[in-house]
């Protein structure tokens, strides 16, 4: 019989890659690693085998605070009725250039 007692898993890290200079780091996925240093090495092997990035960030998933359990929660609802935040809210005569 094999031993089925669950071993402690390596913690989960989220991986962010900057595709090239001038771009933001973008979330690309996650991986398990024993520590921060190994997480960067694993991220390089898993997510940048073809020069997909010039810089990698890793962060423990449990260190991330998210806005709400549901992505469409009321936290974002108020911005829906603040149309005055959008440029098209303001009427500008058509003959005014470069607006």
Partner 1 sequence: MTASEVDPALEAGFEAGFEAGFEATIARNDRIEPRDWMPEGYRRTLVRQVAQHAHSEIIGMQPEGSWIGRAPSLRRKATLLAKVQDEAGHGLYLYSSCETLGVSREQLTEMLVEGRQKYSSIFNYPTLSYADVGTIGWLVDGAAICNQVPLCRTSYGPYGRAMIRICKEESFHQRQGYELLMTMMRGTDEQRAMVQESVDRFWWPSLMMFGPPDAESPNTQQSMAWGIKRNTNDELRQRFVDMTVPQAKALGVTLPDPDLRWNEDRHAHDFGTPDWDEFMAVVKGNGPCNAQRIAHRRKAHDDGAWVREAATAFAARTTQAALEGTSR
Q: Which residues bind partner 1 (CB under 8 A)?
A: 2, 4, 6-10, 12, 28-32, 34-35, 38, 45-46, 49-50, 66, 68-72
Toward partner 1, which CB reaches closer, 6 or 78? 6
**In angstroms, what is the minimal distance from the CB of 93 to partner 1?**
36
**In angstroms, what is the minimal distance from the CB of 77 to partner 1?**
13
Q: Give the contacts of 68 (CB within 8 A, at least 6 positions apart).
A: 74, 75
Toward partner 1, which CB reaches closer, 6 or 93? 6
Interstrand relation of 55-60 and 25-32 (parallel, antiparallel or unpaired) = unpaired
Toward partner 1, which CB reaches closer, 4 or 88? 4
**In angstroms, what is the minimal distance from the CB of 44 to partner 1?**
11
Toward partner 1, which CB reaches closer, 2 or 90? 2
Is residue 25 within 8 A of residue 16, CB to CB? The reply is yes
């Amino acid at each position: 019989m094999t031993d089925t007692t669950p071993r402690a898993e390596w913690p989960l890290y989220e991986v962010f890659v900057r595709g090239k200079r001038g771009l933001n780091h973008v979330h690309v996925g996650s991986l398990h690693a024993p520590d921060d240093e190994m997480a960067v090495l694993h991220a390089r092997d898993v997510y940048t085998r073809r020069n997909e990035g010039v810089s990698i960030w890793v962060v423990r998933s449990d260190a991330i605070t998210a806005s709400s359990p549901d992505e469409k929660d009321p936290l974002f609802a108020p911005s829906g009725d603040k149309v005055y935040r959008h440029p098209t809210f303001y009427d500008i005569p058509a003959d005014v250039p470069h607006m």
